[in-house]
Amino acid sequence: MQSFDFILFGATGDLAMRKIFPSLYQAYADGFLPHIGKVIATGRSLLNVDEFKDKMSHKSKIHIKNCDDKKWEEFTHNIDYLSINLNETKDFELLKEKINSESKNIVIYFSVSPEFFIKACKNLASVGLNDERVKIILEKPLGMDLKSCQAINNEIAQYYNEKQIYRIDHYLGKESIQNLLILRRFNPIFTSLWKKDYIDYVEISVFETLGVESRGEFYDSTGALRDMIQNHILQILSLVAMKIPDTLDADSIRSAKLQLLRNLKPLDDENIKTNVIRAQYSQSGEFKAYLNEDNIKENSQTETFVAIKVELLDENWKNVPFYIRTGKRMANSFAQIVIYFKDQQYQDIHPNKLIIRLQPENQISLNLKVKKIGKTMDYEENNLILNLNSTLVMQPYERLILDVIEGNQASFNHKEELEAAWAWIDPILENWKNNKTPLYSYFAGSWGPKESFDLIQKDQREWYNA
């Protein structure tokens, strides 16, 4: 791998300390960054280099399993720190001076609020840090709706072309998601069955036992629909349902995802009334109600749970519903995709299921009917399990940062993908803004509102609660 310089905006923030620096260190310790150049950490805090490194040792090192002190010292030796105001052009002149003028590979990571993206890009361009050597990584969410997303994309496009922009979604770096494309492309047993003739329905669930914690102010202006459905779940859905291209290169994968997202059946008020459930957690036992969490507006209508029945206009998926749901303060924490196959003969037997677990473990299992042991011909359910948990499995941020350094955009969002997702989400946001559908309630620590079970059970189907 060629040498590179890495610039991180927001280096003193939570994401940088918990994920980005540990991932960079791990890539270095694993030998994937043999020619590391400078790592220039920037933030608003007035710190010198030694003070910043001390902060890293306390806040970042604790998130690294089996951290080698010698490797850590080698890694941090390459780190510099610069206090910077993203709105001040003169600060970017100082930043440029710290970069090796001979560097041919410069990665700039925006671990800051999207409100700073446009100004920072303009200031970077003003000092020449937007030429072909430069790649930028943007954390989502980009915008709060289609209009604001387009505004950000259009402004940034004045300074960087699409080949230089990496919109990161850490879910796309998970081992199980990376395996999904290989599973579908190179296994005839699944390739031949991955269509409406053999699949009854698909479920995608992302649950957290945590509430909003310290993110109350951010979350109350965002909600579960923007934070999880638009951000992550629609990307997962597109990888599950898209037509697998002949080659798994970046352009082919992104084109296939875009085509699928544009084939989501549009939602109007009537569809939203019957196919979309929003809810907010209420007090239960030791758990506070959402409205009693810190930094939540009085009588807030922000949803902490969403369930949607999604239909596709793609002929390959005609009459195959996709049920998606996400929630905070749930009974269990997990992220999973469940593919329910049709039973062609025996309608009274639960069908086979392919269960793809994204977290807490990386695991793919095929639920089979097998004979019970003993003198019987009765059957029972058992799982054929592919365990992807290994010391060799990369954490998502490590994998994705390495992809950026190497110039591989396959696991990143194209601007048109995000805009297609927002175009589908916008009618729901407008419906809720005008209170055309109810905001339901569910007990904190439960499996969600009764209405989410009604949504799927009215179709004679059920959620898979692990």
pLDDT digits (tens, 9 = 90+) for 223-244: 999 999 998 999 999 999 999 9
Average pLDDT over residues 369-396: 82
CATH 3.40.50.300 fits 172-457, yes or no: no
Average pLDDT over residues 183-211: 94
- Residue 373: predicted pLDDT: 86
If we measure between CA atoms, which residue out of 410, 402, 409 comes closest to residue 2?
402
- What is the spatial distance between Cα 453 and Cα 188, in angstroms, rounded to a whole number? 34
- Residue 215: predicted pLDDT: 86
List C-alpha distances in Å: 186 to 181, 191, 248, 305, 357.
8, 8, 11, 36, 20
CA angle (184, 138, 79) in 5-degree steps? 110
Tell which wins on pLDDT, 66 or 158.
158
If we measure between CA atoms, which residue out of 140, 203, 199 comes closest to residue 172?
140
If we measure between CA atoms, which residue out of 275, 263, 281 comes closest to residue 223?
281
- What is the spatial distance between Cα 440 and Cα 450, in angstroms, rounded to a whole number? 9
Domain ranges of the chain: 4-139, 172-457
Residues 6+ apart with CB under 8 A from 446: 284, 330, 331
Which range, 46-50, 306-310, 374-378, is most confident? 306-310
- Residue 361: predicted pLDDT: 87
Confidence of residue 372 (pLDDT cuts 50, 70, 90): confident
Q: Which fold has domain 4-139?
A: Rossmann fold (3.40.50)
Residues 6+ apart with CB under 8 A from 105: 2, 3, 4, 5, 37, 133, 135, 405
- Residue 387: predicted pLDDT: 87
Average pLDDT over residues 48-61: 94
- Number of Cα atoms under 13 Å in the Cβ half of residue 269: 9
Return the active site residues.
Answer: 232
- What is the spatial distance between Cα 86 and Cα 64, in angstroms, rounded to a whole number? 29
- What is the spatial distance between Cα 87 and Cα 94, in angstroms, rounded to a whole number? 14
- What is the spatial distance between Cα 177 and Cα 96, in angstroms, rounded to a whole number? 37
Residue with tokens 């749970």: 305
- Residue 234: predicted pLDDT: 97
Encoded tokens for 444: 């904190």
List C-alpha distances in Å: 353 to 74, 95, 207, 341, 367.
47, 53, 20, 6, 5
- Number of Cα atoms under 13 Å in the Cβ half of residue 41: 25
Average pLDDT over residues 287-297: 95
- What is the spatial distance between Cα 114 and Cα 138, in angstroms, rounded to a whole number? 8
If we measure between CA atoms, which residue out of 138, 111, 98 comes closest to residue 5?
98
Question: pLDDT of 310-347, one tens digit each?
Answer: 999 999 999 999 999 999 999 999 999 999 999 866 65
Question: pLDDT of 411-457, one tens digit each?
Answer: 999 999 999 999 999 999 999 999 999 999 999 999 999 999 999 99
Q: What is the mean pLDDT of the chain?
A: 92
Q: Considering the chain, what percentage of its residues have pLDDT values greater than 90?
A: 79
- Residue 345: predicted pLDDT: 64
Question: pLDDT of 390-418, one tens digit each?
Answer: 767 788 999 999 999 999 999 999 999 99
Average pLDDT over residues 68-85: 92
pTM here? Answer: 0.93
If we measure between CA atoms, which residue out of 168, 303, 282 comes closest to residue 229?
303
